[in-house]
Structure 1
């Protein structure tokens, strides 16, 4: 997160999503088996200033037969800025069956418009994303 303020920050702090992602990755690095994320709770306690050193920690609170509980933190200047609790668990069989019916009706676009055409209208973060508009309705 020692990147330029314009890319990863807004005002005096880094985007919350990048701070939460750093916590998640630190926690996921501690998982040694096939456990997948089951819950993620994140608290943004103070600003994470872009361009300043930070420390990311993760600690396993408990590992059981099915679930691992982890707490992860982002610290800057010896102060906690972000804290997350993440639960990873194994998949288990169930007698309940609910098929996934979430589908959309969108087709692959024939022509797409890049965000870069509108870069002055968006946060600078969009300049590094490889995204395209799906429909011709712009903000």
Structure 2
């Protein structure tokens, strides 16, 4: 958490014109997404959800993969807060964002983690069955 705070402080202090050119893609949205991952992995699912929402508010629409990754992270945070139906709707957005494109490995891992977690919490819910059908369809495209 200290490292995350230090990264935020450094990012805010570094004027954009002094940053190396190779970091031009990196903005506050990326830092917010990383914070969501850190909070999720630390078990702070409420903070993870908040940071994922914050990241999604800032990630440009054109950055499909980044938006889909943050959305998957959001779905996991919601799931671990005991909101499986809302989380399922959020997770389905990943496929919409990717628009039939191949899911990168890290995203496939997150979606797989979500899928397993969903069926632990709500194995017989209709939205879980609908999710499983959608996932099979999307996975077969990839």
Q: TM class by shorter-chain length? A: under 0.3
* TM-score w.r.t. length of structure 1: 0.24
Higher strand proportion (structure 1 or 2): 1
The two structures have a TM-score, normalised by structure 2, of 0.24
Is the radius of gyration larger for structure 1 or structure 2?
1
